């Protein structure tokens, strides 16, 4: 998958409160840490990218340190 794929689903892990809701637009800065795999309720094996966020910010808000 191209790093410029803006439709990729990514599991983002970080320490701190989450004040985000559906449709919020964010910038996330951190380290890609591999894949997260699980089985869906329908029985499909699914793998998605995993990231640990160092910083994140909601569009129009200051950057938050999540370390």
Q: How confident is the model at residue 1 (pLDDT cuts 50, 70, 90)?
A: very low
Q: How confident is the model at residue 64 (pLDDT cuts 50, 70, 90)?
A: low
Alpha-carbon distance of 47 to 39, in angstroms, equals: 9
Alpha-carbon dihedral 11, 25, 28, 50, rounded to 10 degrees: 10
* Residue 21 token pair: 């809701």
- State how far the alpha carbon of 10 is from the alpha carbons of 1, 49, 62, in Å: 12, 5, 22
Q: What is the pTM of this model?
A: 0.63
**pLDDT tens sequence across 17-54:** 767 767 778 888 999 999 999 999 999 999 999 999 99
H/E run at residue 10: strand 10-13
Q: Which pLDDT score is estimated for 59?
A: 76
| Span 53-57, average pLDDT | 86
H/E run at residue 36: strand 26-39
């Amino acid at each position: 998958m191209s790093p410029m794929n803006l439709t990729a689903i990514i599991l983002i892990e970080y320490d701190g409160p989450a004040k985000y809701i559906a449709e919020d637009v964010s910038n996330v800065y951190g380290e890609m840490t591999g894949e997260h795999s699980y089985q869906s309720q329908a029985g499909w094996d699914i793998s998605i990218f995993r990231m640990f966020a160092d910083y994140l910010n909601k569009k129009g808000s200051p950057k938050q340190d999540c370390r």
